[in-house]
Structure 1
């Protein structure tokens, strides 16, 4: 099982330098995570019993974002993509749940975010949206249709930069999660298989358009489509004052996570440091609901400030 606490770091202390400000201010995004891979062994004296299989498992991973700009020939025809990216960024993906499913998703998300391209769809072409679009480089590209041509400077217009939003990147992540989990569901043979194979995710990213840090939660939900089960992962934006907790629900329910975060804000201290201390103390506590250690050390702290990711 797992415990990951994520949110907006609002503090006087800058995790990326030795600076300390007079007043607390937004510093970026944080993730505090345990590193245990565990197994639930059943009930012991009426309580759930957990066994730690290993520790040191990374549950928060760095992502590279790369978007390429089209290379237009002098005759206006689209040829390929320029080697110099139109945008490069960093982000992170955190996961809780089935580790096999989660790593399958992680690989899909990494591939998709690192192979994005700018394209264009005219009004007379099929599909939405129109004009400038950002797509996966492996997807069907409307710029390859016959009879379309562009000015050499088209893809250096300011509208191109407006594509690189946190919301658009979150959609790319959602599509990768759904595609990867669908391949998992396809091989499940029972309701129990589906339940055990599921995972939940959080995506943290800097938005160069709005100049803010955005955190999204993806909790896959079941839907039926033409008689087939699908897992749909719609991104939910996590508000600035909210702590997103992923992992073992019994542990989450027993901890004063939100209160600790708000107390740190009131004292203008680092919420990430306060939540790290809370998690560290809880590992050694006895719980009425279970025995064993569903979460365990070492603990990891990750900070994302704009496009710089730092591990502490």
Structure 2
């Protein structure tokens, strides 16, 4: 639970009243106990206030200014807010989706600040490029499709919480999900054929480790489910799990889930088309002498034959 609802944040962001002096800050929303607030400055900047973040550096850009540890006396308040961080976002362009985007980003930051305060500073730094782009989504199509496949795996799993706990901790991991003695890689395509790129290191696996793949066929349509919809379907998980999922999405896409709405797909068809495939059933070329690494496109089998000895088979429940 955040200190403020999304509706409250959206209303505060849409409040165009600003203080007369450019340096003054008026907080439309303020929770002193949580050291959190949302409002505007006299210069017109959107303001987010959260608990101080001494472990990260300050950040100054064309559109964004972040002070990780400071204090503030909001307009109309006799008391100062101590031990806070202040984010100022000054958009260079006013576009139709600007205020909803600000509300979405501030809502995510408020959630992070409440559930996992120590992660707020890194989360703000991770959004720097997005702020400098006036909060216009910059995520690549393949990144959004890949995230859709991984979140679909979690949302469709028999044990969503357990699978979410095993989601990768680094965006460049060889496998998307890891557990003791097991690895699971999700391959997602928006094409009609179950055709995926794989690498020799993924297919060869690790000696003694049960390695498998989840093949996802994602039918893209004009009006359907988005990455944000999948994220919202997981918000009934424990708050720490939801915060971690949000953090991994931001790490991967550089944007919060609320802005990942460019790709829409048929989620019902995608769930029915999930296939759990052992690494040994993935077609692979024979390497020539001296070849150490390869990358190729493989047509995955249409049947699901999950390894019976792998716990990922139980977690997925396919």
Q: TM tier, shorter chain?
A: under 0.3
Given the two structures, how large is their TM-score scaled by the length of structure 2?
A: 0.22
Q: Which has the higher contact order (CA 8 A, sep 6+)?
A: 1
Q: TM-score, normalised by structure 1?
A: 0.22
Structure that is richer in strand per residue: 1
